[in-house]
Each structure stands twice: as C-alpha cells, then as structure tokens.
Chains A and B, each alone.
Chain A
Amino acid sequence: MDSNDSQVVVSETADKSFLRELIEANVTRRLIPKGLSWFGCMGGLSLVAFIIQLSTGIFLMFYFIPNIRESLASIQHVSHSVPYGWLIQRIHAIGPHIMVGMVFSHMLRILFKGIYRHPREMHWVSGACLLILTLLMYYTGSLLTAHNVNGHHPIHLTRIYATHVAGIPLSMALFMGIHFFMVRKTGIFESL
C-alpha cells in the first residue's frame, strides 16, 4: 500500500466518525427533559401543516394557469380530470384553516405562559412575522380563486400568483430559519 492510499483511508474514517458523532449527538444519544407538555407540539404541528401546504402547492403549480379567463378552468381540470387531483386540491384548500388554528394555539400558549420573555424575544419577533405571513398566504391564495367569482380584480392575477407561490413562501422559509435557529440556541422552555 503506498502512502497516498492510506491517507485516503484515514480521511474516510475521520469523515465517518464525524457523521456518526453528529447523529449520536443530535439524535440517538441526545437527552431531553422529561415531561414536556403535549401542547408544546403546536409549533411542530404548524411546521408539518406548512410542509403539507408546500408539497400539495407544488403539485397544483403544474396545472394552475394564472390568467383570469383560464384559472377557474385549470382548477376544475385538476379536481375532475387528474387522478387524485381532487384530493390534493382539497387538502391545499382546507389545510390553511387547520394550519392557522395550529399557529394561533402555538402563539397563545407562548403568550399566556410568558415564554416570549428574555432571552426569547427574537423567537416571538420571527414567530409573529410568520403568523402575519401565514395570514397573507391565505389571503393571496383565496384571491386566486375569488377572481373567478368577481370576474376581475384591480391587481393583476400574475402578481398575486407570484407573491403566493414564491414571494411569501421564501420569506416564510427565511423567518422559519431564524425561528428554529433561535429555538435551538436557547433550548425549549422548561417550566420549573
């Protein structure tokens, strides 16, 4: 075996143990305080609800036509002609009502338990922005179909669509990054 070969082997084992350490420290060997409240799951559930919206939304993007004349027809096409399209469309339309409920109960728990206090101010600030963005998400999304009811709208449908599928979700991803980074940094709140 020449010296080059053995060096490769060494760096590979070093990499493996690094990965293993990462997994052990963060998952398999990680210890957390006992007796966390089930109500504390609301943040995690908001995240799951968001991911459901994201995945069904990406599916709907393949079919939706952001045009006043064709948008209703494209939604009808997804719901009636595409296999299981109705299910995806229904989940995407009803999910937000549940997601808003989850985010609100998450917020109320933090408000009433006073968890927003120092050192968790930034958790609140990023979270409150997430709540506002969630409501804006609902509003822009409902305008996409409301068009078909009203016939016309002063704002161009393409703008609303771009805001709904790219602008707001990307800023939500940014604020979620801040939110989760802060939660990891301070650790979750433990009542004494």
Chain B
Amino acid sequence: MKDYTKNKSPEMLEPFFPNELFRHIIVSCFLVVVELIAIIIFPLPFKLTSKPDSIPWFLLPLYKLNKLIHSEVVFISLVVVCALLFVSWPYLIPDGKGEHHNLWQRPIPFAIVVITIIFVITVCILNL
C-alpha cells in the first residue's frame, strides 16, 4: 500500500477517518436519493424493444452502427476491434515527454478523442 505521508508536511495531509469516510457516505446518500427520484420520474420499466427510442443513450451508437453495417460479421468484428483499442489505449498512446499529463496539452491523443466523440455523435443522430 502506498504511503501518502512521504515528502509531505502535516498541513498537506488529513485523516482518512472520519473525514474521507464521511465524504463517501455523503455522496453515497446522494446516489441513493438520485435513484429514488429517478424511480418517481420513470415509473414504467425500461424495456429494450426493437424501437430506437427505447434504446438507452449508451447503446444507441451500437444500435445505429448495426443498422449502418449490413453484414453481421463486419459489425461484430468492428465492435471487437474498437473494444480492444479502447482497453489497450494506455499502451497505444506514447508517453508524452515532460510533465504533460493533461489531455488538453497533448494534441495527438486529444485529436483522437475529439474525432471519436464527433464520430459517435454523428452516428447517433444519423436518421437510418
């Protein structure tokens, strides 16, 4: 386990118990409240039917892509390749020189992410 106290003055540290634990309890209660409010707002079951409007936002790109690509084999291979690229992302993007961790300061990874996001949104709003 990592020791957070290394190279740090006491003012830069705080106790885990109760401070951090308390924060986690607050946000967990917040999550429970959000879920209960959602139950009040959406009383009917979310069902997956063949109609696009009942497909949740996070599966919409896949649904549209499936409509766009007529071959089942090509579609599944494409999804698998995308998943593999996504999983191995840290190994594909070369470590930038210097201390630039932030995506905003690294043009190539930033461009890839933005182009992917634009592509996904375009696929979603295509009227197929």
Q: Which residues of chain A have C-beta atoms less than 8 A from B4's C-beta?
A: 31-33, 187
A116, B24: Cβ atoms closer than 8 Å: no
B43 to chain A minimum Cβ distance, whole angstroms, is 8
Given A32-B20, A121-B91, A135-B58, verify A186-B102 contact (CB < 8 Å). Answer: no
Give complex CA distance A32, B24 in Å. Answer: 14
A41, B14: Cβ atoms closer than 8 Å: no
B87 to chain A minimum Cβ distance, whole angstroms, is 4
A91 to chain B minimum Cβ distance, whole angstroms, is 6
B13, A114: Cβ atoms closer than 8 Å: no
Q: Which residues of chain A have C-beta atoms less than 8 A from B59's C-beta?
A: 135, 138-139
Q: Which residues of chain A have C-beta atoms less than 8 A from B67's C-beta?
A: none
B24, A30: Cβ atoms closer than 8 Å: no
Give complex CA distance A93, B54 in Å. Answer: 13
Give complex CA distance A116, B99 in Å. Answer: 14
Chain B 87-128 interface 0/1 with A at a Cβ cutoff of 8 Å (1 = within): 111110001000111111010010001000000000000000
**Number of chain B residues whose Cβ lies closer than 8 Å to a Cβ of chain A:** 52
Whether A100 sits at the interface, judged by CB under 8 Å, is: yes
Given A95-B35, A115-B101, verify A27-B17 contact (CB < 8 Å). Answer: yes
- The residue on A at minimum CB distance from B6 is A187
The contact of A121 among B34, B83, B90, by CB within 8 Å, is: B90
Chain A 85-114 interface 0/1 with B at a Cβ cutoff of 8 Å (1 = within): 001001101110110101010000001111
